[in-house]
Amino acid sequence: MTNLKHLALLGAAVVPGLALPKAADFLDSRQASVFPSKFEWTSTDALVGPKNDGRGIAGIKDPSIILKDNVYHVFASTAKDEGYNLVYFNFTNFKDAGKAPFYYLDQSSIGTGYRAAPEVFYFAPQKLWYLVYQNGNAAYSTNPDISNPKGWTAPKTFYNGTPKTIEDRLTGGYWVDMWVICDDKNCHLFSSDDNGRLYRSQTPVSQFPNGMSEPVIAMEEKRKEDMFEASNIYRYASGKYLLLVECIGSTGRYFRSWTSTDIAGPWKPLADKESNPFLGASNVKFTGKQWTKSISHGELIRTSHDQTLSIDPCKMRYLYQGVDPTVDVSYNSLPWRLGLAEHKNPAC
C-alpha cells in the first residue's frame, strides 16, 4: 500500500506546491513492504526449562540461537535468586530441545559470577565465535569452535567502565542487554538502560572488539516501559535493518519494531504499538494452552552465523522466554522457560 501511495505522489509531483518526495523516502517505504502491516504468530508450548540437577536454577532466559550444519546452538542465562550465569546446549530438532544436556559455562574460563543475556555470532574476519553478554560491563568471550563449550575465553570488556552517557541517565535503571551487529564498515554495540533508552556505540570492523566509541542515544521514550530492554537488530535484506525492542505492556512483555537503511538509524516505525506489536501475547496463537502472557527476551533464528546477523523476513522464527503468569515470586526466581514462535508472512 505504501508503495502505491508514493508512486501516486511521484506522479503528482509536477503539481505546483506539492513537495516531491525524496528518493530516500521512497526507498525507505519500499523496504518495509516485505513485512506485513500486522504480524501473526503461532507458538509452541514451553520447550526448555531448568533441569533437576542440583544447581537450583529457577529460570532459563535470554536465549541466543545459531543454526549451523543442521544443529541448533543455544546460549542462555540461568537465573536464580543468588544470581545469573550462562548455559549452552544444542539439538537438531525442537521437539528434543528439552532433552538437550546443559553445559554450564561457569565450567569454562567465562567463570562464575554475574554473567547474563548472551548473544552469539561468528566474526568472520577473525574466524572466531564471539559470545557477548553483560557482567556489569559489556563483556565478550571468544572461541574458535562453537561445539567446544569449554573453549570460551575469560571475559573481557568493551568499555573501561559504564560509559558516562549511560551512567548519567541510569538512576532507576540498569545497564543491560548488549547486542553487536556489523555492516561492511563498522561493528555497532547496542545496549539498554531499563530507563527508556537504547544506546549505540561503534568501532571499525578492522578494530573490533576494540575502540568502541562513547555511546549515543539511538532511540528513547518518555515512559521507560515503551523502550525497555533486550533489543535485537538484524539485517533482513541488503542495506536494510530491523530493530526490535522489548517493552512492558498492560498484560506482559512484548516487542515493538522499526526498520532502517542504516544501523545508525534513523528508525522508522514498523509494528510499534502494544495494540499492533511485532510480537506479543495479542498476536500469538498457542498450539497448546496459553502458557505465558509475556513474550520476552530472545531472538530470531538467523540465516547466517556471521557478524551481519542476517534473517529471512519470509521465514521468521523467534525463540523467546515466557513464564507462567500465576507464579508470584521475586523477579530472579521466576520460572522462565523457552518457547518458539513462528511467523507466517503473507507478503511472501
Ligand X SMILES: *[C@@H]1O[C@H](CO)[C@@H](O)[C@H](O)[C@H]1NC(C)=O
Give residues in contact with ligand X (CB under 6 A). Answer: 71, 90, 101, 103, 147, 149
Contact 187, 180 (CB under 8 A): yes
How do the residues of the chain divide into helix, strand and coil, expressed in percent and rounded to 5?
15, 40, 45
Closest to ligand X by CB, 147 or 207: 147
Q: What is the DSSP string of 254-271?
A: EEEEEEESSTT-PPEESS
Closest to ligand X by CB, 65 or 212: 65
C-alpha cell at 15: 503539481
Q: How far is the CB of 151 from ligand X (least distance, A)?
A: 10
**H or E stretch at 135:** none
Closest to ligand X by CB, 71 or 216: 71
Phi/psi for 287 (5° steps) reads: -75, -30
Q: How far is the CB of 145 from ligand X (least distance, A)?
A: 8
C-alpha cell at 151: 573453549
Closest to ligand X by CB, 56 or 101: 101
Distance (Å, whole) CA 13 – CA 258: 28
Q: How far is the CB of 69 from ligand X (least distance, A)?
A: 8
Closest to ligand X by CB, 65 or 263: 65
Residue nearest to ligand X (CB): 147
Closest to ligand X by CB, 150 or 285: 150
Q: How far is the CB of 309 from ligand X (least distance, A)?
A: 20
Distance (Å, whole) CA 6 – CA 2: 6
Q: How far is the CB of 74 from ligand X (least distance, A)?
A: 10
Q: How far is the CB of 56 from ligand X (least distance, A)?
A: 20
Closest to ligand X by CB, 103 or 286: 103
Query: Residue 209, preceding bond cis, omega within 30 degrees?
Result: yes
Which amino acid does the sequence have at 206? S
Q: How far is the CB of 73 from ligand X (least distance, A)?
A: 6
User: Which segments of the chain does DSSP mark as H helices, in order?
Assistant: 2-11, 23-31, 164-167
Residue showing cell 537465573: 79
Contact 245, 256 (CB under 8 A): yes
Residue showing cell 506482559: 252
Contacts of 92 (CB under 8 A, 6+ apart): 70, 71, 72
Q: How far is the CB of 147 from ligand X (least distance, A)?
A: 3
Closest to ligand X by CB, 101 or 172: 101
Question: 1: number of CA atoms within 13 Å, CB side?
Answer: 4
As a residue count, the chain comes to 348
Q: How many CB atoms lie within 10 A of CB 129?
A: 23
